[in-house]
Amino acid sequence: MTTVVYSSPFVPAEWIAAHGARPKRIRPDAAAAARSAAPVAGMCPYARALAGEAMALRDGQVAVFTTTCDQMRRAAEWTALETPAPVFLFNVPATHGTPAAARLYLDELRRLGRFLARLGASEPSRDTLADVMEAYDARRRQLRDALGVLAPREASEAIAAFDRDGSPPTQAVHGSLPHGIPVAVVGGPLMRNDAQVFDRIEEAGGAVVLDGTESGARTLPAPFDRRRLRDEPVLELVDAYFGSIPDVFRRPDDALVAWLGRELAASGARAVVLWRYVWCDLWAAFAARAGDLAGLPVLDLDVSGDEGADRRTANRLQAFLEVLR
């Protein structure tokens, strides 16, 4: 069975699974960046790390990148030039709310299907797709339920585990919910060991009440409409993913702004930690507006993924939370 490795929340696991392939959404290891041999200066560490992961793929594994940022788009090309492993670049439209944008996303889903078919996968029937979607939806519901009772780091890791293999938390492990200054973490994706940032925040006297990173619950697709799931599963998939996930690359970015306002108010956060990678223009620009949008203090936490980054991050979090006390 072909394993499809990707990192973007806009790639539907259900679509891959329904084609008989194994979806594996990963959080790349920062250490993999060196393998990419891509330039360091000016390049997003996350994109380098994902390229490095893709270059280590073995037979039977393929990589899917998305066009959600310029750096990722070019990292896909770099990877394809450097490795014999098949690489697919999924064009996720930046605009939304137009027939053309939805059509492009739908066309890209179908093109991904053809790509998988060329690797031996099979095109699913409507019922097969609906069955797979229904199963994912049920497991995702379990995941959502668990997120409410898990400690922030455990919740993040539960999402990562679900992304890797589609499995929800096996038991309702009630983590010790943190006490401290309520903080929202908003921003780009996390790499493999980055969930420890939630621990660092707690160690500094904070309590993460909202995970709005790209790796968090913000980018879970909307629950499926059960009736439409059976009638028009592909269109339902388009709506649940492309039509629902708010993100920073979308133009305009009003859905992300609305999400932020709504979720911050619901979470009771008193401050925002904005998680972004150096050279990420999209989140850097959003960071500059986040204070005004949130009406809260914002720590613009630019992370590099290199040695010493964790120590620097801890120091900056410590200083930020001290000010908030």
Partner 1 sequence: MNLPPKRISMEELDILWERRRSAGAPMPTYVGPLRRHVAEGDRRLLRLEYDASPAALRLWSFLLTEEERLHAARAAGAKIVGTMKDLGTVAVMAYALPNVVAFYPDGAWWTPCVMELSDGLFRIAQSLGFGESFCPVRAMLGAFVNRAHFPIPDILICSAGAVCDDFSAIAQRVESLGHPILWWEMPHRRRPEPDEPAVELPGGFSAPASQVALVRAELERVRAALEGLAGSPLGDAELADAIAEANRVRRLLAELRRLAYTADPCPMPALEMLIAEMLAIHFCSDRAETIRVLADLLEEVRRRVKEKVGIVAKEAARVFWVNPVADLRVMNLLEDCGGRLAGTEFLFSHALDLIPEDLPPMEALARMALADPMAGPSADRAARIERDARAFGAEAVLVSRIPGASHCALEGAVIGRTVRRSLAVPVVEIEVPPLADPMRPTLSAQLEALVETVQERRKR
Residue numbers of the site for partner 1 (CB under 8 A)?
38-39, 41-43, 67, 69-71, 73-75, 77-78, 81, 89, 91, 93-95, 98-101, 103-104, 107, 111, 114, 249, 251-253, 278-282, 284-289
Task: Pick the closer one to partner 1 by CB: 161 or 259.
Answer: 259
Task: Pick the closer one to partner 1 by CB: 73 or 192.
Answer: 73
Task: Pick the closer one to partner 1 by CB: 249 or 320.
Answer: 249
Q: Which two tokens stand for residue 149?
A: 């009772």
For 47-66, the DSSP string reads HHHHHHHHHT--TTEEEEEE
- What is the nearest approach in angstroms of partner 1 to the Cβ of residue 249? 7
- What is the nearest approach in angstroms of partner 1 to the Cβ of residue 162? 29
Task: Pick the closer one to partner 1 by CB: 86 or 93.
Answer: 93
| Spatial CA neighbour of 205 closest among 93, 43, 323, 311 | 323
| Spatial CA neighbour of 126 closest among 232, 21, 15 | 232
- What is the nearest approach in angstroms of partner 1 to the Cβ of residue 5? 20
Q: Distance between CA atoms of 199 and 206, rounded to whole angstroms? A: 9
- What is the nearest approach in angstroms of partner 1 to the Cβ of residue 286? 8
Q: Which two tokens stand for residue 67?
A: 């066009």
Question: Going by C-beta distance under 8 Å and a sequence separation of 6 or more, which residues neighbour residue 111?
Answer: none
Task: Pick the closer one to partner 1 by CB: 93 or 216.
Answer: 93
| First CA to last CA distance, the chain | 53
Q: Distance between CA atoms of 229 and 240, rounded to whole angstroms? A: 11
Helical (H) or strand (E) element with 117: helix 99-118
Task: Pick the closer one to partner 1 by CB: 77 or 231.
Answer: 77
- What is the nearest approach in angstroms of partner 1 to the Cβ of residue 117? 11
Q: Distance between CA atoms of 1 and 119, rounded to whole angstroms? A: 10
- What is the nearest approach in angstroms of partner 1 to the Cβ of residue 303? 14
